[in-house]
Amino acid sequence: MDREHDIELSICKKFKKVIWNRFIMGIKEYKLIKEGDKIAVCISGGKDSMLMAKCIQRLQRYSDVPFEAEYLVMDPGYNPRNRQKIEENAALLGVPIKIFESTIFDAVADIKDSPCYLCARMRRGYLYSHAKAMGCNKIALGHHFDDVIETILMGMLYGAQVQTMMPKLHSSNFEGMELIRPLYMVKEADIIAWQNYNKLEFIQCACRFTESYTDYENGGSNSKRQEMKKLISYYRNINPNVDINIFRSVENVNLDTIISYHKGNNYTHFLDNY
């Protein structure tokens, strides 16, 4: 119990400025949680979702805005040691998880084209469905600030588009459901620092392609997202503000200097009104 208390306290004491304050900033700035919400806090077993769970747990305890939270773990086919690691960490952190099972890993095991994309879509669908059945109106995912700026760069460099990972989204397939990202303003380096300070070990990606339960720093990957991480790290050494500049670029879009843009299926070209 003492260790659980110390770990939670570190979020709002030692890491108050970089984690707790940024967590609260994101909640308020983007109006992520409202009175009466029932939120399914989706836990994958990694450092990000576990930290998110502790932040929401503390917020629920002290917030003036009453809301409910369910701490939901989907087992898509983890091997026994990864599932055990999730259960052990939840017990250590005092997070009352509810686990349900699916067969997603089996379903995508033989998919050669974009298995990770398909897996992510299927996982989200299962989470929405299960959360809605529990009476929740929102699901919370553990994406952080670095995920956001990596998405912006990947969209530009590999998708030929300007887009970002939004702080919240209405579900297009589950009426009345919403997705929120409470760690939207929290940087990954600070999450890793919190993890290391408390000597915590979380699973990384536990799928069949990268089966491991080592921490994120040691996990490694050759994915495009890892490529973006290296690129951002390189430019952070040149300009420490490069990450916030990337983020601000999608907050400060000047449509007078954009060749074309679209909202839904409505496209606008600068020559239309030249």
Q: What is the residue-wise DSSP string for 157-195?
A: HHHSS-----SEEE-SSSTT-EEE-TTTT--HHHHHHHH
CA distance 52 to 130: 19
CA distance 75 to 90: 14
Q: What is the pLDDT of residues 142-187, one digit of tens each?
A: 999 999 999 999 999 999 999 999 999 999 999 999 999 999 999 9
Amino acid at site 250: V
The helix (run of H) or strand (run of E) holding residue 74 is strand 68-75
Q: What is the pLDDT of residues 216-252, one digit of tens each?
A: 333 344 588 899 999 999 999 999 999 999 999 999 9
Full set of structural domains in the chain with CATH:
2-220 (3.40.50.620)
126 Cβ contact list (under 8 Å, min separation 6): 74, 76, 102, 104
Say if CB 180 and CB 37 are below 8 A apart.
no
**The pLDDT value given to residue 103:** 64
**Is residue 239 exposed (0-12), middle (13-18) or buried (19+ Cβ within 10 Å)?**
exposed
**The pLDDT value given to residue 123:** 77
Q: What is the pLDDT of residues 121-132, one digit of tens each?
A: 777 888 999 999
CA distance 29 to 221: 33
Band (pLDDT 50/70/90 cuts) for residue 75 is confident
Q: What single-letter DSSP state applies at residue 170? A: E
Say if CB 201 and CB 84 are below 8 A apart.
no
